[in-house]
Structure formats: structure tokens, C-alpha cells
Amino acid sequence: MMMSEFFSIFEYQFFQNAIAAAVLTSVIASMVGTYMVSRKIVFIGGGITHASFGGIGLAYYMGLNPFAGAAVFAVMTALGIEWISDKGKVREDSAIAVLWSLGMALGIIFVFITPGYTPNLMTFLFGSILSVGIPDLLLLLFFAIFLVILFLVFFRPILYTAFDPEFAKTKGIAVSLYRYMMSVVMALAIVLSIRTVGIILVLSIFTIPQITAMIFTRDFRKVIPWAAALGAFGSVAGLVAAYALDIPASAAVIFFLTIQFLIIKAFFMLTGRLLNLRLKNMFYRYKKD
């Protein structure tokens, strides 16, 4: 591909929208994903994502907006998992498995019984970032701003309830309230991100940049901007590669985020070993002298 042709792609409105969507999704995922990874509830994200398929199927059957249906199901699933694991005395992973399976089953049933042509579900399963429009971008922007304000105002309670709920209780923090609140936020963030990367791959953008960021720092406050930057860089690189190689954009984004993690991890492991080797050599020389 000629260099002039490469740069010309950035002049197209659809590609500019895709880049903006990738960056905004990375910002949203950096905050919510860091909370998920820190609290070790990544599997819950998977449960919410797949359960939302039930809402998509029901919305198709009723002739409603499928993303609205996904949002309702996602929020209900998130609150259900939190309630069942807290009050229902059921293990969290068991609650996730039940609601995950129920959501997928309902989605398939409703899609099957929907009158007329079977709807094309590829957009929901694998995303359609190249078809993102201005209304989608505005929704992502407003939600990103909302999240920034939420994390600035309630940063300490969110941090404490993620890492040490017992300590949070001693500080008078309503742990259950914040956990329910973050469950709703998590559900909405996931549904908004389905538009860009799809149900199958959405969990990746909420976890890969975060664990990559944790190679550099373990500070919750610093992980968020690192994850946003890494997510945005990997996403834009994936979009460019998708255009150059004519491959699915969402898969290319996740591929580049994964390669980014592997390269950084390998680099730190290699430099760490070299540093240890140098320290050992210095120690042996010191003993010799």
C-alpha cells in the first residue's frame, strides 16, 4: 500500500469515527476494566456480556432497539449476580454460569421465533466499529465524561470496595451500595462497547490493556491512564492494520492489544533477567575481591 494511500484513509469520515470510537471505548474500559481486574471479577464481565444477548433477541422479537434490550438485560444480570452471590448464598461463579446460560438461551429462542427474516447478528457478535455514527460517538462521549466524574468524586469508596471491602466497612462506606452501583456501570459500559468490538471480543478490551498497564504499575490511580493510552494505541493500530490487510476490524484490534501485551511482557521479563544476571555477576566479583 502506497504511503499516500495509507494517509488518505484518515480523511474518510467513517475511519475518523472509528478512531474516535476506539479511543472513547478505551477510556471507558480503562476505568471499568481496572475495577473489574482489581476486584478479580473479570468472569462477571463475561457473564454480563453473554447474558445481554437475551435482551438483543427479545428486542428483535418485540421490534425494539436491540441495544436497549441488551442494556436492560445486562443491568438485570449484573444486579442479579451481585444479589445472588451476596444474599442468595450461591457462589459467584455459579450465579454467573446460570445467568450467562439463561441469557444466551433466551437470545437464541427469541431470534428463532422472530417473524420474517432471521436478523443478522454478526454486528452484535463481532462488532461493527467502521459503521459507528455520530449518535454512537456522542453516547460514548457522554458516558466517558460521566465515568470520569464518577471516579473523581467516588474514587476512594470505589477503590476500597474493590480491594478491601471489610476495611471499607470499618470506614463507614456502604459497600453493598457501591458494588451495586458499579455493577450497573459495568453493565452499561459493556453494552456500549459491544457496538465497537462485539459480544465475542468485548471482554478483551476490558482486561488486556489493564493487565498490560499493571506491568508498569500496580497503583490503581496510575493503571487507569496507562490502560487508556495502551488501549487507544492498540485499537488505532488494529484499525489501520484492518484497513491495510482487509481483515475484520474488531478482531484486528484485539489481536494488536494482545501482541502489545506480549511484547511489553517479554521485554520486561528479558530486561529483568539481564538485570538479575548483572547483579549476580557484581556479587560474585565482590566476593572474589
Q: What does the mean pLDDT of the chain come to?
A: 82
User: Which of 37-51, 107-121, 133-147 has the largest mean confidence?
Assistant: 133-147
Q: How confident is the model at residue 24 (pLDDT cuts 50, 70, 90)?
A: very high
Quick one: pLDDT at residue 5?
A: 61
- Please determine, for residue 148, whether its predicted confidence score (pLDDT) is greater than 90: yes
Averaged over 257-278, what is the pLDDT?
79
Averaged over 132-152, what is the pLDDT?
92
The predicted model scores a pTM of: 0.84
Q: How confident is the model at residue 87 (pLDDT cuts 50, 70, 90)?
A: low
Quick one: pLDDT at residue 9?
A: 74
- Please determine, for residue 286, whether its predicted confidence score (pLDDT) is greater than 60: no
Quick one: pLDDT at residue 279?
A: 47
Averaged over 195-204, what is the pLDDT?
81
Averaged over 245-255, what is the pLDDT?
86
The CATH number of the domain holding residue 247 is 1.10.3470.10
Which residues are CB-contacts of 102 (< 8 A; sequence separation ≥ 6)?
A: 51, 54
> If you ran DSSP here, which 8-state letter would residue 64 be given?
S
SS3 74: helix
| Amino acid type, 23 | V
Supply 275's cell numbers: 538485570
Averaged over 115-128, what is the pLDDT?
70
Quick one: pLDDT at residue 283?
A: 43
User: Cα dihedral sign for 44, 48, 49, 50?
Assistant: positive
What range does the domain containing 184 cover?
3-288
Question: CA 239, CA 22: separation in Å to the nearest integer?
Answer: 9
Q: What is the dihedral of CA 132, 138, 144, 149, to 10 degrees?
A: 180
Averaged over 50-78, what is the pLDDT?
86
Q: How confident is the model at residue 287 (pLDDT cuts 50, 70, 90)?
A: very low
Supply 170's cell numbers: 470499618
Cβ–Cβ under 8 Å, residues 158 and 68? no
Question: CA 16, CA 9: separation in Å to the nearest integer?
Answer: 9
Cβ–Cβ under 8 Å, residues 111 and 57? yes
Cβ–Cβ under 8 Å, residues 52 and 210? no
Better-predicted residue by pLDDT, 249 or 124: 249
Supply 243's cell numbers: 484497513
Question: CA 186, CA 191: separation in Å to the nearest integer?
Answer: 9
Which residues are CB-contacts of 188 (< 8 A; sequence separation ≥ 6)?
A: 71, 74, 75, 143
Q: How many domains does the chain have?
A: 1
- Please determine, for residue 289, whether its predicted confidence score (pLDDT) is greater than 60: no
- φ, ψ for residue 246 (rounded to 5)? 55, 55
Cβ–Cβ under 8 Å, residues 252 and 239? yes
- Please determine, for residue 22, whether its predicted confidence score (pLDDT) is greater than 80: yes
Question: CA 24, CA 143: separation in Å to the nearest integer?
Answer: 9
pLDDT tens profile 41-57: 887 887 888 888 888 88
